[in-house]
Amino acid sequence: MLDRFKNFWQGVMLAPIVNTFVKLGISPDAVTLVGTLGASAGALVFFPQGKLLTGVLVITAFVFSDLVDGAMARATGRTSKFGAFFDSTLDRIGDAAIFGGLLLYFAGPGDSYLYVCVTLYCLVMGAVTSYARARAESLGLQAQGGIAERADRLVAILVMTGLGALFDLPILMYVTIWALALANTETVVRRILMVRKQALAESAEAETA
């Protein structure tokens, strides 16, 4: 979802911030790092204390760095393979911190062993989703698609956790966690089957060559 509105945010809402950072000589990698540290701190400091709404607001404020750094890189002509690698790697850290913070919430004030397990599953499968794509591409294959893209997972858990805390409806967060667990599973299975199909096709082609 975040990706689908990227052009709007970068072109209208975040352009003044991007221009200011560029004028100040701030590097895109610095914005990436600060954004990840801020989002991770918001999740790991506030969620375990049961301050879900505060955590969501802090995380959301820093999540937009994911849009700012890319726009800055293009504006300054400083796009690079390292920048792409750095951004993608820190994205994984931020995602893990968010679900790790929720896991600690359920292990503490949330007091639910069931949701500790389901949240841990979401954390692990989210990482596997990204790994499956990266590994497939390293082999020259494609493993995109599925209903649990990173941006969609992030928006869903933050919005529903925030709304659940604001209106005292934790069911919104619970349903979202289960939905993400199922969506992650579907995405990983789909990518495995996609890669298997391509690998078998390559093998068949090699045998007939």
- Say what angle helices 171-208 and 113-138 make with each other, to 10 degrees: 30
Distance of CA 116 to the CA centre of its chain: 19
Give tens-digit pLDDT for 150-169. 888 898 999 999 999 999 99
pTM over 0.85: yes
d(Cα 148, Cα 6) in Å, to the nearest integer?
18
Q: Please confirm, yes or no, whether 87 is among the known catalytic residues.
A: no
For the four alpha carbons of 149, 150, 151 and 155, in that order, the dihedral sign comes to positive
| Mean pLDDT (the chain, rounded) | 88
pLDDT class of 2 with cuts at 50, 70, 90:
very low
Two structure tokens written together for 2: 């975040």
Which of 49-58, 69-78, 148-157, 165-174 bottoms out in mean pLDDT, i.e. has the lowest? 69-78
Q: What is the pLDDT of residue 14?
A: 67
User: Coil, helix or strand for 77?
Assistant: coil
State the Cα–Cα distance between residues 180 and 156, nearest whole angstrom: 8
User: In the numeric block, which tokens belong to residue 28?
Assistant: 């895109």
Its CATH architecture, for the domain 3-208, is Up-down Bundle (1.20)
Cβ count within 10 A of residue 22: 16
* pLDDT score recorded for residue 65: 76
- Distance in angstroms (rounded) separating the CA atoms of residues 167 and 76: 43
How far apart, in Å, are the Cα atoms of 44 and each of 79, 85, 128, 175, 202? 31, 24, 22, 22, 45
Look at residue 6 in the predicted model and tell me its pLDDT: 53
| Domain chopping of the chain, boundaries | 3-208
Residue among 29, 66, 69, 91 flagged as catalytic: 91
Q: In which band, very low, low, confident or very high, does the pLDDT at 18 lie, cut at 50, 70 and 90? A: confident
What is the residue whose two structure tokens read 């093998």?
A: 203
Give the residue-averaged pLDDT of 59-65: 85
CB 136 within 8 A of CB 80: no
